[in-house]
Amino acid sequence: MLPVSALTGNRFYRSISNDRGDQITHPGLPGKPFIHRCSPALANRNGSRQGHRLYRCPTKRKINLPEVAGLDRNLRIKIHQEYFHTILFRDLVERHDIPHPKAVSDLAHWLVDNASSLYSVNNLTGYLKSLGHKVPKSAVSDYLAWFEDAYFLFTVRIFDASLARSNTNPKKIYCVDHALVKSLSSGILVNSGHLLENLVFMALRRLYPEVSYFKTKTGREVDFVVPGRDRSRMLVQVCESLVETQTRKREMLALTEAMSELGQKTGTIVTKSEDERISTETGTIEVVPIWRFLLELPNQGSPNENLKMAKR
């Protein structure tokens, strides 16, 4: 199979079968990316996850895209790369008759490499310009919208009452599958914490179309805010581990500030394996391992249902 850079004119090299393309074009129901629910039968209910490779999924599931389940690493990476080619060619280049397919490929690679990170259209346009692509900002904005239409990459805006500020502030990018990120990325910028954050985002995005990030008045960031109908909001911070004192202090301070500013009495910190309840002057912070967070998310309903975790 040829690399992504194998382009001929305005067409990608057709290295992918039609059958595979048909399987993954627009994966999932309209408006909802395809994500498996973790099976309670596979989860260790006593909280012990020693020796467990979290980012193959908290219940030993490697992926969100079903075809690669149970395959060895090299074959899984190859199929993920073919998925990537198919998404770019069918859902973007071919469908929208894009005149700069290499620019789309380079942009997609940069975004996957920077999954769970902030970006701005200006920075992306400058990056493509540094590679020799003469692509205007309007085209970059179109590419980002088309990535989301294809259920491949998702943009998260800052939580703000002002639509103008929400649109002008830097945004965050997430991929439909954290395992896809691992197979496609260079490995230099993506770390296990970013993969954990991407996994949590996709679990929330499956249930709620409006997922934002929050920045406090002091500039501290909370990874996810999910608004409810009754003005309640679910605040979720993602941190691989709170063992280090400085990390614990940083994550708790950001979350308690957000709880205070948004008038919430509860917040959640999702970790790899830690489980505790922390009482603060602002309210209660529930620290949960990723496997429990995923299992206890409701199938539907408002974010308030998620807060039942803190009342069990």
* Tens-digit pLDDT string for the chain (312 aa): 333 323 322 332 233 333 444 444 434 333 344 444 443 333 443 444 333 333 334 333 344 566 676 778 788 888 888 888 888 888 899 999 998 899 999 999 999 999 999 999 999 999 999 999 999 999 999 999 999 999 999 999 999 988 898 989 999 999 998 888 888 877 666 688 999 999 999 999 999 989 999 999 999 999 999 987 777 899 999 999 999 999 999 999 999 999 999 999 999 999 999 999 999 999 999 999 999 999 998 765 555 444 444 334
For residue 11, being part of any structural domain is answered with no
185 and 224 both lie in a single domain: no
Domain end call among 156, 190, 224: 190
For residue 2, being part of any structural domain is answered with no
* Domain of residue 268, residue span: 212-311
Q: Is 96 helix (H, G, I), strand (E, B) or coil?
A: helix
**What are the C-alpha distances in Å from 72 to residues 42, 60, 69, 79, 81?**
20, 14, 9, 11, 14
184 and 98 both lie in a single domain: yes
69 and 182 both lie in a single domain: yes
How many angstroms separate the CA atoms of 98 and 118, rounded? 25
Q: What helix, strand, coil percent values describe the chain, rounded to 5? A: 45, 15, 40
User: Structural domain tally of the chain?
Assistant: 2
What is the pairing mode between strands 221-227 and 118-119? unpaired
Q: Whole-structure pTM over 0.85, yes or no? A: no
